[in-house]
Amino acid sequence: MTTPDTTATVDLPLAFDNRFAGLPPAFYTHLQSTPVPAPYLVGFSDDAAATIGLSRAALDDPAVLDVFSGNRTATGSRPLAAVYSGHQFGVWAGQLGDGRAITLGDVAAADGSGRIELQLKGSGKTPYSRGGDGRAVLRSSIREFLCSEAMAALGIPTTRALMVTGSDMRVLRESVETAAVVTRAAPSFIRFGSFEHWYYNQRHDELKVLADTVLAQFFPQLLQQSNPYQALLTEVTRRTAHLMAQWQAVGFMHGVMNTDNMSILGLTLDYGPFGFMEAFDSRHICNHTDQQGRYSYAMQPRIGQWNCFALGQALLPLIGSVEATEAALAGFEAIYDQRHAELMRAKLGLATVQAGDDALIDALFAILQANHVDFTLFFRRLGQLQLNNIGADAPLRDLVIDRPAFDAWAGQYRQRLRAEGSQDPARALAMNAVNPKYVLRNYLAQTAIERAAEKDFSELARLQAILRRPFDEQPEHQRYAELPPDWAAGLEVSCSS
Ligand code: AMP
Ligand code: MG
């Protein structure tokens, strides 16, 4: 095979620019991706592509696949890898950066909301690769692709994934796997660690340039405030608190909440060893590498807050005082608690706020914990509860081993529902709109990955289509909503990707 010339440009139906390249040169390195042999399409998201006005038909031109495999460069794209630093597992890790991601540039959002950056993940080494090979394996790329789109469909802020391309090129992890490239899309991939980078290098001029750029591009309304940097921290703290509440409400666990994986826009970013809660255990650790459980389900909100403090530290020279920085951070707990309580009430179908709600919710979580109840199934079935028909509880009750505990709680719950005049059909409708029937269970992803490794991408497409409509019944796909099979218990996900 002749190596494609990645410097020769090709016209795409996308008008590329690269505003990140407008930052001073210290922020990034311009470079070309490293081509992969004979790329092929693995998955494509019509929904994500529509956000930039691209359709699947564009793939009829093989140049499109080449560009999104890193084998050719689109006109107007000035590819670059960005530098950042971060705290990993609570410890300052120093310089990191896009070690295997290359930002191609940005294109117009189809809805006129601004620009959207396109980034290739797994497209080869960069000056920030440290010891890594700059590649991503098919397995982790499919996981990122599926989960980005699943989260978007759940209404949770996230980076998107346009497509995955694969290549038979071999990549060594714990075993030999094959390479893939994910095209990610987001208004920005700037991280908390992007700010920490300049703070810890004592380069406050660059810190200011970054903050001013982020304010101007994404938070222009904050520029009117007396201290825009404090306002920025307040807003990022708010968004992060909301994001944590949303993760908890659907049982999403990120797995690697290092500050370099925290989006300044409050998006879910950098999908690695994530997982959705199945048998409920608040101490569950989805990342096999995280032995201390720093990023367990129960810890996520606190770590989200910790990460905001790390960002606050980095912004301190711009904000000007510790007091003003603390004031910006102070809102986290109250904002999180309120959002979390709102989401929990919605999950239980409670339309009003009443004294005792917290106790009712806590009592339910104690039952879920003690009985390791499947999180998604329980809440979905809870929506089918009928006020005056205890017999109809069976499918729900069957999920709980301690039936007397369930019956006692269900009695209190019915009383609470009656107290607000709740009606079964309306409540079921409202609960089905917030309690997903379908989430990306690890074993479902695993099945799609195993088929894809054999070049059968139909299961991936099917799963993707199901997860696009997580709240819809889709009776024809019932088996995707059921308890995981026994073999799924042995699945482990690590940082290796
Ligand atoms: P992560 O924990 O996946 O967010 O990665 C942490 C850092 O390691 C980031 O700077 C990544 O770009 C880098 N990294 C991870 N895997 C690789 C790889 N295979 N090659 C180069 N850099 C990598
Ligand atoms: Mg990362």
| Each residue's pLDDT tens digit, 183-241 | 999 999 999 999 999 999 999 999 999 999 999 999 999 999 999 999 999 999 999 99
Segments of the chain scoring below 70 in pLDDT:
1-3
Residue 11 annotated among the catalytic residues of the structure: no
Residue with the two structure tokens 């930052």: 23
Q: What pLDDT score does 2 carry?
A: 58
Residue nearest to atom 11 of ligand 1 (CA): 99
Express each pLDDT in 411-426 by its tens digit: 999 999 999 999 999 9
Q: What pLDDT score does 435 carry?
A: 99
Cα 226 to ligand 2 centroid, rounded to whole Å: 33
User: Is the model's pTM score more than 0.95?
Assistant: yes
**First vs last C-alpha separation in the chain:** 27
Q: What pLDDT score does 451 carry?
A: 98
Ligand 1 atom nearest to 256, measured from its CA: 2
Ligand 1 atom nearest to 101, measured from its CA: 12
Q: Is 256 in the pocket of ligand 1 (CB under 6 A)?
A: yes
Q: What pLDDT score does 490 carry?
A: 79
Residue nearest to atom 23 of ligand 1 (CA): 99
Q: What pLDDT score does 58 carry?
A: 95
Q: What pLDDT score does 4 carry?
A: 73
Q: What pLDDT score does 493 carry?
A: 82
Q: Which residues surround ligand 2, an ion (CB under 5 A)?
A: 261, 270
Choice from 258, 260, 288 to test ligand 1 binding pocket (greatest atom count within 8 A of CB): 260
Distances in whole angstroms, Cα of residue 411 to Cα of each of 201, 335, 358, 466? 59, 31, 16, 34
